[in-house]
Amino acid sequence: MNAKLNQTEEFFVDKIAENMSTYGVSTTVGRVLGIIYMNRKPMTLNELSEATGMSKTRMSQAVREMLELNIAEKVFEKGVRRDLYNVEQDYYQTFVSLFTSNWQKAINKNKLFEKKVKAELLLLLEQETLSADDEQKVNDLLKEAKEWVEYYQWLARLVEFFESGEIFNHVPKT
């Protein structure tokens, strides 16, 4: 293939990787996504290793990360022994996948928080003799916890708003 053409293709890969890094995804993962994307068809670890110049182990790690983020999938092709990996060909869908898996993780981690804090604070109000100031503080924190929960519920609705594709009704693709 023409050298300049090749260079332009690499330019695309770099841009895709750069875009990905906005999500906090490592540039290696970004480049792997870009490479598979530009390749237009699934690739093996060996091919990826060849294309990136990195070790196969690293490719294995990168690909697993992408599977977890829902931006790549393992595909089967009869007659091919090696694992094949493919990526979403739609930019928008990739955005949505990263956005949702990122925030869903945060939302899950937060689930127990409310209960813990509330329980602890209520116990404090009951069991201990608090100064007026401290009692005020407890009430402030309870209010804070409530706001916090509401905020996380909002985040959950936001994730759903993206995941369901509703976002595209309000911010249309073209």
Partner DNA sequence: CAGTTTGTAAACTTTTTATTTCACAAAGTT
Partner DNA sequence: AACTTTGTGAAATAAAAAGTTTACAAACTG
- Residue of 19, 26, 86, 102 interacting with DNA (CB under 7 A): 26
Residues 52-91 as x/- pattern, contact with a copy of itself by CB under 8 A:
---------------------------------------x
Q: What is the 3-state secondary structure (H, E, C) of 7-64?
A: HHHHHHHHHHHHHHHCCCCCHHHHHHHHHHHHHCCCECHHHHHHHHCCCHHHHHHHHH
Residue 130 partner contact from a copy of itself, DNA, none using kind-dependent CB cut-offs of 5 to 8 Å = a copy of itself
- Residue of 68, 73, 77, 166 interacting with a copy of itself (CB under 8 A): 166
3-state secondary structure of 120: helix
* 22 is an interface residue for DNA by CB under 7 A: no
> Of 60, 71, 70, which Cα lies nearest the Cα of 17?
71
> Of 43, 49, 47, 99, which Cα lies nearest the Cα of 72?
43
Q: How far apart are the two ends of the chain, measured CA to CA in Å?
A: 33
Residue 83 partner contact from DNA, a copy of itself, none using kind-dependent CB cut-offs of 5 to 8 Å = DNA
* 57 is an interface residue for DNA by CB under 7 A: yes
Which positions ≥6 away from 147 have C-beta within 8 Å?
A: none
Which residues in this chain contact a copy of itself in the complex, by CB under 8 A? 1-2, 4-5, 8-9, 11-12, 15, 18-19, 22-24, 91-92, 95, 102-103, 105-106, 109-110, 113, 116-117, 120-121, 124, 128, 130-131, 133-134, 137-138, 141, 144, 147-148, 150-151, 154-155, 157-158, 161, 166-167, 170-171, 173-174
